Structures are given as C-alpha cells and as structure tokens.
Amino acid sequence: MSLLSVFKGWLGEAQGALAHRLFLDDKIYHPINNVTIPTANGSTQIDHVIVSRFGLFVVEAKNMNGWIFGDEHGKQWTQSLYGKKHQFQNPLHQNYRHTKALAEFLGVDHDKLHSVVMFWGEAQLKTQMPPNVMTEGYATYIQSKQTVLFSDEEVAQLIEALRTGMLPKTWATRNAHIASLQQRHSSTTTCPKCGGALIQRTAKSGPNAGRPFLGCTNFPRCRHTAAVNEGKSV
C-alpha cells in the first residue's frame, strides 16, 4: 500500500469523522473511527462504526473523484477520471465482510448492522446504486433508520466491547492487517470476501464454460470466484 493510498484513505476517514461531529447528535450516535478487529483468518479494518439504538452503522469511506460505474453484485467497480479508468473492489462486497466480522466479534445479529458506503470528494455515481451508496445525504440516510434495535444499556455495552476489543491504532496494527489481506486474497481454501470455504466447480456457461474455478460455498449470498491457478479472479 502506497503512502498516497494511505493519505487518501485517511482523508476520507477524516471527512467522515467531521461529518459525525457536525451533523449527528452525539447523545444518540456514538462514532468510533478506524476500527481494526481480529477475525478467524486475520483482521479487518473498518473506517467508521456508529453505535446507536437504531443499530450499528458500518461505514466504508471512499475519497475519490471522477465518474463511478458499478453494479451492486459486480466484483469490480470503475473510476473514470481525466480519460483514464481504474478498477477497484466493489465497496459493498468489501463492507459485507466488515459487517459479518463485526457481528461475530460483538455477538449480535447481522440484521442489526447497516452497511453504508460514502464517496467523499467530487465523485459522481453514473450507474444506479442502492440507497446505502451515496455521495451526499450521509447523515440523513443514517437518521432515516428509526427502528429501535438496542436498549441504552446494550449501546453502552457495545461501545465498551469495541473500545476494549479493537486492536490499537498503530503502524504495527496497520502493517499486520495489510499482511493478513495479502494472505487472505492469495488463499485457495478460504473466501476473502466472507470467510466461507472455497470449493472447485465447473463453469456451465459463458466464455469459461467447461473450465474449473473456485467458488464460495455461501453462494448465492456470496458470489466470489477465483481461478484454480494462483487464486486469480475469473
């Protein structure tokens, strides 16, 4: 991971943290920023977790400019900027792993977590996205969730569990997390998206019909696939 990537990630997180302070009532919404938690196969890093009576908001912050193209179920999305195109991981898939890991870590139902993807900067979404992917209306979306899911006592317990259980915010933690990412994405036995098992299947249609590939056992909920050789995406 380059210093530029680190800086851009930090800037997106900083913008999110500022929005929390300016637009969300701190007596109702309790943000914890830059959360890294241990998982069964390494660790996962979450930009923001907002604890409230209305659920746990798990926020993936993207600091990007240009046009953004993507499909809710696609593995890769595309950024178009100054005539150049760059592909990046579908942030909804990325955040799904975050929500699953956090639910397991805290021992709460996954249904009580809300996934939010926020593009800061000057990004424009050029394809239709679900309502939890946005370039504006961040606080409004969070405040729109009004079903009470946790008692005040449970909120306090969740905050304490996160603050005491999360890994320290150090370069050592960041470096260990990056190493775990590299190991997870090179695995031929464990899905890097949801942690499920990868098994060999055979493509039934399309340009790869008849060819073997690795598929997640949690399909169709998880649609991650990888090539049989070296774990490359197909």
Residue 13: pLDDT band by 50, 70, 90 thresholds?
A: low
**pLDDT tens digit sequence for 116-145:** 999 988 899 999 999 999 999 999 999 999
Higher pLDDT, 221 or 103: 103
Mean pLDDT of 191-201: 78
**Domain annotation covers residue 232:** no
* 201 shares its domain with 91: no
What would the pLDDT profile of 137-192 be if each residue is shown by its tens digit?
999 999 999 999 999 999 999 999 999 999 987 766 666 656 665 665 666 777 77
- Which of the given ranges, 24-38, 144-158, 207-221, has the highest pLDDT on average? 144-158
Residue 233 counted as domain residue: no
Q: Which amino acid is at 190?
A: T
- Same domain, yes or no, for 137 and 97? yes
Residue 22 belongs to a domain: yes
Amino acid at 41: N
Of the residues 177, 197, 214, the one at which a domain ends: 177
Q: Are residues 61 and 37 in the same domain?
A: yes
Q: What does the pLDDT read at residue 185?
A: 60
Domain co-membership, 199 together with 160: no
Q: What is the pLDDT of residue 175?
A: 65
Number of domains in the chain: 2
Position 191 scores a pLDDT of: 77
Q: Does residue 11 have a pLDDT over 70?
A: no
134, part of any domain = yes
Residue 210 domain boundaries: 187-227
